[in-house]
Amino acid sequence: MCGIVGFVGKRNATPLLIEGLKRLEYRGYDSAGVAVLSVSGMAIAKTKGKVSALDAELANHPIEGTAGIAHTRWATHGAPEQRNAHPHRVGQIALVHNGIIENYAALKMEMIERGASFLSDTDTEVMSQWLHDRCAQGVSFAEAFGMMLPLLHGAYAIVALHEDEPDTLYVARKGSPMVVGTNDAQECWVGSDMLALAGYATQGYYLADGEYAILQPSTMRFFAADHTPIQVTMQSMNVGAEIHDKQGFAHFMLKEIHEQPDVIRKTLSHYYDHETQSVHFEGLTLDPTTISSITMVACGTSFYAAQVASYWFEQITHIPVRIDIASEYRYRHPIVPKDSAALFISQSGETADTLAAMRYAKEHGAHTIALVNVPTSTMAREADSVIRTLAGAEIGVASTKAFVAQLTTLAALVLYFGGARSTLSSEETAHLMHHLSGVAEQTQQVLDEKMHYDRLALALMYARDMLFIGRGTSYPLANEGALKMKELSYIHAEGYAAGELKHGPIALVDDGVPIIVIAPDDALFDKSASNLEETAARKGNIVLISSKERVANFHGNVTHSVAVPACHPFVAPILYAVPLQLLSYYVALHKGADIDQPRNLAKSVTVE
């Protein structure tokens, strides 16, 4: 969730670390800090708030050194205050940390009994105090670092410095991602995200769980959890820094919404061969004809993609599907059926709950499939099969193009399964793929009318509550639309199956509550229209999102309407996601919210 950057080389580390932190701002954070080492000692700067505040502090009080660590913190233990910001220094030691140390209270009590005095409320300072105590007893820092790691329960990505070693970084990882990079200039880099290293490191290695490393400009030593030295294979890093350019858009989110037509095209060209009219998934090592059921597990927006896909799979492939929220999955000790597949969806491939759920399913005999946007992620490395979503880097915290990429990839996967299991003929597969291929252009048509959403947002921005409703695959979209509105505008919004309104939520309806009705032109339109009228009878402020033909000919009681290009019902969830994204974006824009970095949120949730 938080961001980590580390550097050791011959250049001044401070501006490099600050640039790395700026690249990681999309992850969500509430404070920032940096520690640098030179031959004259250690210097630290920490501020509450944005990296820009830290940058201003450093402009007034510069610090320099050729090795350093930097961090953006998303609060877990202790309020967002300067004293809780990382790095945490005790004596000659400074340390930054992502994750949660679950047994920190016991370790803290041990250190207090040994005379330690804590300055923060964090679990991270416990590690700095522990290392300082062992070094005070004459233990070398390298030995103390290795001794500490087995004592830590929970998840961590750690980078530490010691004042007596101004050319060395100590790095460890368990459950929280960490990449090590290098280049021809004999510089070493570390980061919680490859983006922090883009344009600097030319080769990289993702630490595996339990591994740690001691890095110097000319030497990198890697160790297994049992302290055995290991040899690692560095991979080429070809991610460019240009992804951080908004390319003329006001926000990364708006840029990424506009990238969706290309994302759809790129996805389909990767998984569908137009000449042979066949769908292929080279990363899938499972025979679709051998499975008895599918479990889909994810969090947040990815869960709603799974919810949409569950309709597609059951209707088209006739495979029973169960969907689960990742944070609950393993705690109910689910039964994993024999001959089952378990599909885990995560943009980052590092989502802690989803990763833990995947490990549970794998331990209990399921064939695990990771559907991720980062092919080098932990989930991709540990799953039995890997399916890539080709969204590219997504900087906006609220997911847009990653969601559309997930839906497009899942739609293609359904066609692949349907063909393999003979529930779809080749003609039917080609027919649905034809409609799927047309979504890119239809999405562009929605984007060309984005100012309509700008005007509509002005009418909705003062609402305190909103309801999003839909039927069939539009029900998960209602959930996703409500989530986007909450994330971006901070308006309380809830998604409901349209038929469930009368079972309670209709009590909330009055003329101050906008009801967003997602009703594609499909077999369920008339039923959705009936639910619309139920809310209209109670003075609901109704926004109808449907096809241009349905909107033009609808004579019911609506306050506003949004016309979407006509499309096949199979692809409607992909297309109808875009109006919901635009509506949330413009409501947030008019409310003056921080669109790319909504409060309290993080892009990659690597803690439970």
Q: What average pLDDT does the chain have?
A: 91
Distance CA 209, CA 221 (A): 16
Q: How many CB atoms are closer than 10 A to CB 413?
A: 23
pLDDT at 24 over 90: no
pLDDT of 152 strictly over 90: yes
Report the distance separating Cα 98 and Cα 93, nearest Å. Answer: 17
Task: Give CA–CA dist 397/600, Å, rounded.
Answer: 11
For the stretch 279-314, pLDDT in tens is 999 989 999 999 999 999 999 999 999 999 999 999
Cis peptide before 87 (omega within 30 of 0): yes
Residue spans per domain, the chain: 3-243, 253-437, 448-596
Cα–Cα distance for residue pair 326/49, rounded to 1 Å:
30
CATH, range 253-437: 3.40.50.10490
Q: What's residue 243's pLDDT?
A: 56
- Structure tokens that stand for 413 in this block: 């996967």
pTM greater than 0.95 (yes/no): no
> What is the structure's pLDDT at 277?
82
Q: Do 377 and 330 contact (CB within 8 A), yes or no?
A: no
Q: Specify which residues 314 forms β-bridges with.
A: none
Query: Which residues are within 8 A (CB) of 376 and not within 5 positions of it... i.e. 6 or more apart?
Result: 194, 206, 235
Chain segment 548-571, per-residue pLDDT in tens: 999 888 877 888 999 999 999 999
Between CA 171 and CA 96 the distance in angstroms is 10
Per-residue pLDDT, 132: 96
- How do strand 514-518 and strand 541-547 relate by DSSP bridges? parallel
Which tens digits make up the pLDDT trace of 396-436? 888 999 999 999 999 999 999 999 999 999 999 999 999 99
* pLDDT of amino acid 238: 67
3-243 and 253-437 share one fold:
no
Return the CATH number of the domain spanning residue range 3-243.
3.60.20.10
HSE at residue 323, side-chain half, CA atoms within 13 A, is: 18
pLDDT band of 30, cuts 50, 70, 90: confident
Q: Please give the positions annotated as active site.
A: 2, 603
Residue range 129-148, pLDDT digits in tens = 999 999 999 999 999 999 99
Question: If you count DSSP H runs as helices and E runs as strands, how many of each does the chain have, helices first?
Answer: 19, 27
Given this model, what pLDDT does residue 508 score? 80
| DSSP characters over 155-220 | EEEEEEEETT-TT-EEEEEEBS--EEEE-TTS-EEEESSGGGGTTT-SEEEEPPTT-EEEEETTEE
Would you state the structure tokens that stand for residue 446, as one six-digit string? 């929605």
Least confident segment among 98-107, 224-233, 506-515: 506-515
Do the beta carbons of residue 5 and residue 69 sit within 8 Å? Answer: yes
The angle subtended at Cα 221 by Cα 218 and Cα 227, nearest 5°, is 165
Q: What is the CATH number of domain 448-596?
A: 3.40.50.10490
Measured CA angle at 219 (ends 161, 154), to 5 deg: 45
**Is it the case that residue 241 has pLDDT exceeding 70?**
no
Question: Residue 3, CB half-sphere, CA atoms under 13 Å: how many?
Answer: 30
Give the model's confidence band at 518: pLDDT under 50 very low, under 70 low, under 90 confident, else very high.
very high
Alpha helices in 461-594 (DSSP H): 474-489, 525-536, 548-553, 572-591
pLDDT on residue 150 = 95
Report the distance separating Cα 386 and Cα 416, nearest Å.
15
Residue 1's pLDDT band, with cuts at 50, 70 and 90, is low
For residue 341, the model assigns a pLDDT of 96
User: Is residue 211 scored above 60 in pLDDT?
Assistant: yes
Is the predicted pLDDT of residue 468 greater than 70, yes or no?
yes
Fill in the amino acid letter for 1: M
- Tens digit of each residue's pLDDT (9 = 90 or more) over 170-199: 999 987 889 999 998 899 999 988 888 888
